[in-house]
């Protein structure tokens, strides 16, 4: 190998080393803070789709209010409340009509009253909401024979 080639070879070696030492060059760039837009506040209107009541929730309403007169199995208690499991009235009325009935109850002088005992409005618990009543109607439906 003569002089000029040796020189070029040496130059290439030096260059190669220099490049390797720089790790291929290019300073590492710090990742840019991504300025992500804050998610827009979600407009969620939690409106229940189906108006039909929830029998499981309705059992809780029944057990806290209606059970006192209609009994633990809704078979009625003599002198207090009627059997709801075999009630013709329950069978004939729509859910909405039953809700309306429970809201007002039935006085002893009501022509439909067969026991002479009053069913108080909302079973005597004015705190019950329309939803509670829809639920309790769903529960009564679920145990009606």
Q: Which residues bind ligand HEC (CB under 6 A)?
A: 65-66, 68-70, 80-82, 84, 87, 89-90, 98, 102, 106, 112-115, 117, 119-120, 122-124, 136
The radius of gyration of the chain's CA atoms, rounded to the nearest angstrom, is 40
Burial 39-77 (b: 16+ CB within 10 A, else e): eeeeeeeeeeeeeebbbebbbebbeebbbebbbeebebe
Residue found under tokens 């809780």: 60
For the bound state, the minimum distance from the C-beta of residue 82 to ligand HEC, rounded and expressed in Å, comes to 4
| Shortest reach from residue 116's CB to ligand HEC, in Å | 7
Give me 5's structure tokens: 């080639």
Q: Residue 7 or 130: which CB sits closer to ligand HEC? A: 130
- Of the two residues 8 and 104, which places its CB atom closer to ligand HEC in the complex? 104
Closest separation between CB of residue 66 and ligand HEC, Å?
A: 3
Q: Using alpha carbons, select from 52, 53, 29, 43 the residue that is nearest to residue 136.
A: 53
As a whole number of angstroms, the distance between CA 107 and CA 2 comes to 125
By beta-carbon proximity to ligand HEC, the closer residue of 6 and 144 is: 144
In the complex with ligand HEC, which residue's Cβ is closer, 19 or 96?
96
């Amino acid at each position: 190998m003569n002089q000029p080639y040796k020189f070029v070879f040496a130059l290439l070696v030096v260059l190669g080393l220099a490049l390797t030492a720089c790790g291929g060059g290019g300073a590492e760039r710090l990742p840019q803070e991504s300025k992500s837009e804050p998610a827009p506040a979600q407009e969620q209107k939690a409106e229940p789709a189906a108006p039909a009541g929830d029998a499981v929730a309705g059992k809780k309403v029944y057990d806290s209010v209606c059970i006192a007169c209609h009994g633990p199995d809704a078979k009625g208690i003599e002198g207090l409340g009627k059997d709801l499991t075999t009630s013709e009235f329950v069978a004939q009325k729509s859910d909405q009509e039953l809700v309306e009935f429970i809201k007002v109850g039935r006085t002893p002088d009501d022509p439909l009253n067969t026991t002479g005992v009053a069913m108080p409005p909302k079973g005597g618990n004015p705190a019950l909401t329309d939803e509670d009543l829809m639920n309790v109607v769903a529960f009564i439906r679920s145990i009606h024979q």
